Structure 1
Amino acid sequence: MPPRGDPEIQLAKLTLDPTHQPELTLSPRLDELTLGSACHPELTLDPARQPEETPVPNLAELTMEPVHCRPELLDACADLINEQWPRSRASRLHSLGQSSDAFPLCLMLLSPHPMPGAPPIVVGHARLSRVLDRPQSLLVETVVVARALRGRGFGRRLMEGLEAFAQARGFHRLHLTTHDQLHFYAHLGYHLGEPVQGLVFTSRRLPATLLSAFPKAPFPQPPSKAPSLTAQSAPRAPRGPLVPPPPPLPEPVTTLPPPPAGPLPQSLLKTQYQDLRGYPIFWMEKDI
């Protein structure tokens, strides 16, 4: 038998003998602590405070409206775009504020808010710009759908709304670029095309003849001639043998030959076009 001073035996006695464990006695106050007790408000289960999932908008209730017609939705639209492409909020709001009927024009895909009287929910956004030297074409940019609603048909609904909007205003072709959504746009009827130049600023007061002059290549400048020395008052040379004339100036360097006409070859797997950052992009277009 181990000695009486063995600490293990004393520990066993303290554990098994409830008379030596006063701290294990249940306080009567524990019976008063319920989930609705004021002493523990964090434990209160209030059904009104339970998080609820945002209902998925009904595709049949979606509408398309220009952002300049709904200025109260500017902030929500800027948040939606910055969720995909972070940018200065002031810069984003300034860009959206340039939307007008004369283009560029920012369109929003809107869903009615489930709460009566609340503003609609911005589901998607796209920007339309005029195309240089193509009066019947529009360039589609900044296409984005709310991250939580992707993969549910809202992207298709947004593109269909863009086509209907453009067609109702007399346009017959849409152009766009993409990095990794080729199959999505191909499924909507878009095919590979050639690059176009979007107009950042347009006005109905500018005649079509002026706009059509921009894409033309500038006329080649004639080679510069050597400066004439007859018109300058050169100092009189001393008498003596004539100095031989200087050698003729070298011929001006000719520019590189222009690239072959027509779009560069590209496929759904490879393209020779790049954006301003050097990333490969695919140009696509569709007749509407």
Structure 2
Amino acid sequence: MGSVSEELSLVPLHQRPELMEACAQLLGEEWGKSRASRLHSLQRSSDAFPTCLLLLQSSGPAQLPASEKSPCQLLGHIRLSRVAGHPCSLFVESVVVPKALRGQGYGRKLMEAAERYARARGFRRLHLTTHDKQHFYAHLGYTLAEPVQVMPFMSPGISAEVLRVFSAHPRPAVSTPGTLVPGTNKRSLPSPDVPPPPPLPPQGCSRAAPATTCGQSILETPHRDAKGVPIFWMKKDV
């Protein structure tokens, strides 16, 4: 359990299974989907990732009705997953705070606590996507980035070595022009199917720029989600 303040704490959902229903309801109010689908996803939380993290308070805030208060009040949810090809990175998703509590800083506290959680476990970078909250994340230090591949579900028993092999991008075996082919005295010719190398990026385009990257800015993005809606990819070193 990572302490956030005297009253708040960040805990993995699988350590507090009695909060499963409350968490499913919070996610359902924001994104819909069936209760069964939400519970199935939440039940996959583990220390091996994906990990669902809950921001909790020992007693409910005064703004909430008495009927919604409990000895342990759910203030937010966030999920962390592994990133293919980036063993030191995690992907942030399903960030949500109850509607009645928004605008009071709980979103920032949730993100900062998740960053500490990731850093304490040896991860050094967080990735995320957003359709319309890019300014919020930019205020927290996230910058525009290129897309990455998320690994949403991994077996708890998978080793770090297997993970690295799975995450590596395979390289096609291509004969080098002018090399000898075993068993012959002839030199191989370049394969006609090998594509030319990609062009170099335009001069002056920096991936580290805080507000812009190649072809995108904090207001415009060339990336689209599965439904064709513009989506911003962002990252932060933690």
Superposition TM-score, scaled by structure 1 size: 0.62
Structure 1 residue corresponding to 2:103, chosen from 146, 151, 161: 151
Which residue pairs with 2:23 in the alignment? 77
Deviations 1:105-146 (A, max 9, x none): 00011112358x944111100000011111111100110111
User: Is it true that 1:120 corresponds to 2:72 in the alignment?
Assistant: yes
1:133 equivalent among 63, 73, 85: 85
Count of aligned residue pairs for this structure pair: 200
> Could you list the runs of 5+ residues in structure 1 that have no partner in the other structure?
1-57, 223-252
Q: What are the superposed Cα offsets for residues 133-168 of structure 1, whole Å, 9 maximum, x if unpaired?
A: 111111001101110110110000000100111111
Name the larger-Rg structure.
1
Runs of at least 5 residues in structure 2 that lack an aligned partner in the other structure: 61-65, 176-191, 202-206, 208-213
Out of 212-221 and 274-283, give the one that drifted further. 212-221
The structure 1 residue matched to 2:220, chosen from 267, 270, 274, is 270
Partner residue in 1 for 2:159: 206
Contact 2:50/2:152 (<8 A) preserved: yes
Which has the larger share of helix? 1
Q: 2:151 is paired with a residue of what secondary structure?
A: coil
Describe how 1:178-217 pairs up with structure 2 within 5 A. 178-202=130-154, 203-208=156-161, 211-217=164-170
Bigger share in strand: 2
Do the aligned partners of 1:59 and 1:157 also contact (CA within 8 Å) in 2?
no
2: CA distance, partners of 1:178 / 1:273? 11
| Corresponding residue of 2:45 | 99
Q: Identity percentage over the alignment?
A: 52
What corresponds to 2:211 in structure 1? none
Shift of 1:275: 1.1
Structure number with higher relative contact order (C-alpha < 8 Å, ≥ 6 residues apart): 2
CA shift, 1:284, in A, is 0.7
Would you say the 8 A contact 2:10–2:113 is kept in 1? yes
| RMSD (Å) for aligned C-alpha atoms | 2.8
- Aligned residue number for residue 54 of structure 2: 108
The one-character-per-residue Cα deviations of 1:196-244 (angstroms, maximum 9, x if unpaired) are 111122245334365345452563799xxxxxxxxxxxxxxxxxxxxxx
SS in 2 for 1:134: coil
> Partners in 2 of 1:75 and 1:209 — Cα distance?
34
Counterpart CA distance in 1 for 2:194 and 2:71 is: 58
1:169 to 108, 112, 121: 121
Between 1:204-213 and 1:64-73, the stretch displaced more is 204-213
The alignment partner of 1:74 has SS state of: helix
Decide whether the 8 Å contact of 1:178 with 1:283 is kept in 2.
yes
